[in-house]
Amino acid sequence: MEARMKAIIVRRPGFAEPEEGADGRPPAPGRVRVRVRYAGVGWADVMAVRGGYPLAPRRPFSPGYEFYGTVEEAGDPGGAGRSGGGFAPGTRVLGLLPRMGAYREFVDVDARLAAPVPDSVGDETAALLPLNYLTAFALITRLAALEKGQSFFIHGAAGGVGTAALELARILGLKAYGTASIEKHCLVSSLGGLPLARKEDSWMGELARSEPGGVDAAFDSFGVPSFRKSWKILKPGGILACYGLAPSLNGGPRDFLAGLLWAGAKNIMAGGKRVRICSVPGLMARDPLWFRPSLERILAWAASGALNPVSAGIHEWRRVAEAHRELAEGRMRGKLLLDFSR
């Protein structure tokens, strides 16, 4: 008899609906089948459901880039460098799917895109790590290549990527500034960041008073109007790393194109500053060897207790609409998870 699988499927714009359907295929060579316990909820998921995320798969699709769970079955190793057989059933793993599809009870994933979770890292902690910490790690260590003592600014500092960036800043000895709504400033401070008010751009003046020469890097995901301001607060030689291109969750291809064109133009007449575009799924495709060691470094920090990712709560998988509403209303602090075990 075929297994029944829980999944969130988008069949029409604006609706991510819980379904239970058939799924019984064994994993192909070099791949593993993972029973998902938690899938992370991110900004891109909500955009993809609404229809404005150019990197979303064609409908019908399941949103979600990241998963945490246990290996159900491993395919044959599948050739040199591939290790589908390297995971024993029951191994706790986390990972990313480069083209979404993680909002489901079982995922079939390239074994190179999953990493085993050390015993000392709890289930929820592990589930909070993949996308946000890899994004923050890429921004800090790869795109801006910051070194101890340098400074950065980030928008949404109390959100998923923002809190991850603040935690990594503390470990790497960086000075971090970030905007957040006033009621989230305590969280930003508790993570070692210097909170700034987003309202009416007062953050720009506050930042200029603390860093008159500008910051070494700015991390911004909110589109061209926001990039223009982040560009101004960079010191000469500074880097603006854009890790999202839409000002709102309703963004669409036009925002993405505008962001790419703006970045290209700035780099032609940069005057010492540079713009870089960061996409973790893109990095995974371009440089697969970057992914696993980066994730393992993050997991090692988590295992040593140096990382304590901020949880915005766990929703039972059927309550996906409520989870997305929470994200859209900006109420979240840290990261929200969907639980597929209930």
Ligand X SMILES: NC(=O)c1ccc[n+]([C@@H]2O[C@H](COP(=O)([O-])OP(=O)(O)OC[C@H]3O[C@@H](n4cnc5c(N)ncnc54)[C@H](OP(=O)(O)O)[C@@H]3O)[C@@H](O)[C@H]2O)c1
- Cβ nearer to ligand X, comparing 87 with 291: 291
Residue 173 neighbours by CB under 8 Å, 6+ apart: 148, 149
Distance CA 115, CA 109 (A): 11
Distance CA 277, CA 91 (A): 34
Note whether 130 binds ligand X by CB under 6 A.
no
- Cβ nearer to ligand X, comparing 192 with 281: 281
Using CB under 6 A, pick the residue from 67, 103, 222, 256 that binds ligand X: 222
C-alpha closest to that of 161 among 331, 321, 309, 330:
309
Note whether 160 binds ligand X by CB under 6 A.
yes
Note whether 156 binds ligand X by CB under 6 A.
yes
- Given the DSSP bridges, would you call strands 106-110 and 31-41 parallel, antiparallel or unpaired? antiparallel
Q: Which stretch binds ligand X (CB under 6 A): 17-25, 85-93, 152-160, 207-215?
A: 152-160
Using CB under 6 A, pick the residue from 44, 140, 284, 298 that binds ligand X: 44
For the record, the structure tokens of 322 come out as: 């409520």
Note whether 224 binds ligand X by CB under 6 A.
no
Using CB under 6 A, pick the residue from 82, 170, 198, 319 that binds ligand X: 198
Minimal distance, residue 55 CB to ligand X, in Å? 9
Distance CA 336, CA 314 (A): 6
Note whether 279 binds ligand X by CB under 6 A.
yes
Residue 50 neighbours by CB under 8 Å, 6+ apart: 13, 14, 249, 250
H/E element, 285: helix 280-286
Q: Which stretch binds ligand X (CB under 6 A): 97-105, 112-120, 179-187, 268-276?
A: 179-187
For the record, the structure tokens of 107 come out as: 């995922």
Distance CA 44, CA 327 (A): 11
Query: CB-based burial of residue 276 (10 Å sphere; 0-12 exposed, 13-18 middle, 19+ buried)?
Result: middle
H helices within 12-97, ranges in order? 43-50
Distance CA 234, CA 193 (A): 18
- Cβ nearer to ligand X, comparing 67 with 243: 243
Note whether 337 binds ligand X by CB under 6 A.
no
Distance CA 272, CA 269 (A): 9
- Cβ nearer to ligand X, comparing 42 with 214: 42
Using CB under 6 A, pick the residue from 30, 95, 244, 259 that binds ligand X: 244
Instruction: Return the residue nearest ligand X (CB atom).
Output: 159
Note whether 280 binds ligand X by CB under 6 A.
yes
Note whether 62 binds ligand X by CB under 6 A.
no
Minimal distance, residue 182 CB to ligand X, in Å? 8
Note whether 87 binds ligand X by CB under 6 A.
no
Residues found near ligand X in the complex (CB under 6 A) = 42-44, 131, 135, 155-156, 158-162, 179-181, 184, 198, 221-222, 226, 243-244, 247, 278-280, 327, 330, 332
